[in-house]
Amino acid sequence: MTEYATIRTETRGRVGWITLDRPEALNALNSTLVTELAHAAAAFDADEGIGCIVLTGSDRAFAAGADIKEMEAKTPREMTMDNPFVGLEAFSRVRTPVVAAVAGYALGGGCELAMTCDIILAADTAKFGQPEITLGVIPGLGGTQRLPRAIGYYKAAELVLTGRMMDAGEAERAGLVSRVVPAADLLEEAGKVADAIAGKSLPVVYAAKEALRASLETTASEGLRFEKQVFSSLFALDDQKEGMAAFREKRAADFRHR
Catalogue the active-site residues.
66, 109, 112, 132
Q: Which is nearer to ligand DAK, 97 or 143 (CB)?
A: 143
Query: What mask of x and - would describe binding to ligand DAK in positions 65 to 84, judged by CB under 6 A?
Result: xxxxx---------x---x-
Enumerate residues 6+ apart whose C-beta is below 8 A from 62: 20, 27, 56, 100, 101, 102, 103, 104, 105, 106, 110, 113, 114, 126
**At how many degrees (to 10) do helices 238-248 and 202-217 cross?**
110
Q: Which is nearer to ligand DAK, 67 or 239 (CB)?
A: 67
**How many Å apart are CA 2 and CA 40, to the nearest integer?**
8
Q: Which is nearer to ligand DAK, 161 or 245 (CB)?
A: 161
Q: How far is the CB of 135 from ligand DAK (least distance, A)?
A: 6
Which of 42, 135, 224, 246 touches ligand DAK (CB under 6 A)? 135
**How many Å apart are CA 249 and CA 207, to the nearest integer?**
25
CA distances from 177 to 25, 189, 227 (A): 24, 14, 24
Q: Interior CA angle at 62 toward 48 and 206, to 5°?
A: 25
The residues in 164-223 that bind ligand DAK, with binding defined as CB under 6 A, are none
Query: What mask of x and - would describe binding to ligand DAK in positions 104 to 133, judged by CB under 6 A?
Result: -x-xxx---------------------xx-
Q: Which is nearer to ligand DAK, 82 or 185 (CB)?
A: 82
HSE-CB at 4 with a 13 A cutoff on CA atoms is 23
Q: Which is nearer to ligand DAK, 133 or 253 (CB)?
A: 133
Q: How far is the CB of 162 from ligand DAK (least distance, A)?
A: 13
Q: Which is nearer to ligand DAK, 68 or 234 (CB)?
A: 68
141 touches ligand DAK (CB under 6 A): yes
The residues facing 106 across adjacent strands are: 63, 128
CB atoms within 10 A of CB 227: 17
Query: What mask of x and - would describe binding to ligand DAK in positions 85 to 104, judged by CB under 6 A?
Result: x-------------------
Site size for ligand DAK (CB under 6 A): 21
Q: Interior CA angle at 119 toward 116 and 122, to 5°?
A: 105
Which of 58, 90, 95, 140 touches ligand DAK (CB under 6 A)? 140
Q: How far is the CB of 30 from ligand DAK (least distance, A)?
A: 8
CB atoms within 10 A of CB 234: 15
The residues in 32-71 that bind ligand DAK, with binding defined as CB under 6 A, are 64-69
The pairing of beta strand 98-102 with beta strand 165-167: unpaired
Enumerate residues 6+ apart whose C-beta is below 8 A from 176: 115, 120, 128, 147, 150, 151, 166
Positions in the binding site for ligand DAK (CB under 6 A): 25-26, 28, 64-69, 79, 83, 85, 105, 107-109, 131-132, 135, 140-141
